[in-house]
Structure 1
Amino acid sequence: MAKSIPVTSSQPFSQLNSLWWVVTLALVVFGAMVIKESWIAGLMLIMFGAVVSPYGFARILAWLSADDPLQIRVAIVLLALAGSTYVLYEHTARVAADAAEETRIKALADAQAAEAKRTAEAEAQLNSTKAYFAEHRDAVLAEFATAVDGKNLATAKAIRDRFILAIRDPEFDQILNRYVSLKDEVERAEAEKARQAKVATLTGQLASVSATDYTQAIMIYTQLVALEPANKSYQQKLERFTKVRDAQYAKEAAEKAAATAKAERQKKIEGQFSGWSGAHYKFERLIKDAMNDPDSYDHVETKYVDKGTYIRVISTFRGKNAFGGMVKNTKIADFTIDGSFLKEVQ
């Protein structure tokens, strides 16, 4: 005997089935919206919407003689959404790729067309120039020669630039060679004029440079030597200022090194003495070790004399003698600059 369809599936207008009609409507509407982007994804959503509708799902359950577990319809809805999303994504990506390829092909075609247009225009311009020269050859050559002979480089250059790629004419080439020679001559003259002006400017600056401003003088003479390599005077002055500067730098470096060494030496010496009492740390310990009653030691004064390779320390102190009386005494000893004991001075 066939199973009866559960109440939740056989009553399409119950509260639960009303919710599934909403889900069905949502899937159908969503499918209709998507179908213009991807007809496959849209039909999938509409089809799955029909499957999970109370009416459609009830018919399927009746055909299968099965119950109506809620999780199956939920799984179908999730499958519909996931599958349609994947199909829509793939379709959109393919459409975007096709559009990009069409854009690339169009851009390539436009570039080729533009290049072909430029080539055609250049070819037309070249042919026009050839035709013009053939018709006005004598006038063009005369104008070119007049410009070169008159040292009118601007006009000569304009004529050269216009016809140099379009024609091959022996007489034109002869005038062109004269133009090139004239151009080189003018450029050399202008360069020489600029060089002389630069030399005059630099020599003028030397008048305001002080005798001890070696850096500025070296900079100026370096430029002058580059501008006039054959000028021995510039070379000699450059060498002299360079030697003086280097000697000055060496002297300053030596003085700095000496000052640093002196400061470090003084720091080592002062580090041997107490900043509070002025006593020599190591000498004080040696004195206490030799006293009858070290606890009675009372520092009075400590001085030192710098002997160059060592220091001589004179320490005055009080302490109890063998009879218990307080006496004043002075000890003298020599120490290295690093504070090592050398000897006691009687």
Structure 2
Amino acid sequence: MSNAKTHILWVVALYAAAALAVLISVSGVLSTGGWLPLLVLAPMLGLLLPPLRNKVDPRERYLPGPKWSLGVAFVLAMFQAGLFGQHASGVEAEKEAIRLQEAAERAASAKRRLTDEYASDKAQILGQVESLLTSNQPREAAALATKYIGVSKDPDLARLKSRADMAVMRLELDNEAAVPLARRAQIYKTLMQEEPGSFARYQGKLKEVTAALEAERQAAARAAEQAALEASIKGQFSGWDGSHRNVEAALKARMKNPKSYEHVETGYTVGAGSITVVTTYRGTNGFGAVVTNQAIATVDMAGNVLTLSGL
């Protein structure tokens, strides 16, 4: 009876695997548009379908047993999956290449449009920029000049853009305190070059801003270092009960019955180069009685136990 049941179960397993192989192969044909999955399906069905197995090898002398047949079919299925994955990657790469090409064509088309627009309306565009500068609208003038400066090397446009940029910088300095330090440094450097008469004035301001930027950089570095230290310290303690892992291990190593160790609470203070860890715990003493103790440990910033007392 046992052998018969086992045989029936293997037949069911082979049929189920064959059905799955057909499903995977058909899906592969639909997704890839090729017929290779069906070529792989043929030997899989020969291995899996009992009627085909009997027809190919009536005595099953040469075909592997059901267990090995399933294994070989699995390997073939993985081969198919690899083919599907390669095809999917190729299709996605082709789509991405098309998207990039279309984006490049749109950019080129926009550039040609701007080039033609500037060539045909140069006088009007330059007049608009000049008018905006005259009416004290430097930001609008700079934006209009910037729109065409990338498609034209016209020196007249470049001069107007430079005037507009300088006017924008001076306008920003009307509310100097609101301008970010890095932007202020850029403005001062530009004005030192463009306005030699104001060199000394802006040089002093540039030194102040440079010092402030360095102070900000150092503060950010200290904050990052402190955050990393706090994360490192926090990682030394258990997120479950707050115990210090290395201190707990050291305590257990010194106990007569380490298995009786029970953590109660742990607190710590961070010093200049070490951490003081105070742990309250319970455990059995030499007489088998449960007692509560408190231990004080000193650990380094990496969590290594330096001293342990109070056992």
Give the shorter-chain TM-score range: 0.3 to 0.5
TM-score normalised by L of structure 2 = 0.44
TM-score normalised by L of structure 1 = 0.40
Instruction: Tell me which structure has the larger Cα radius of gyration.
Output: 1
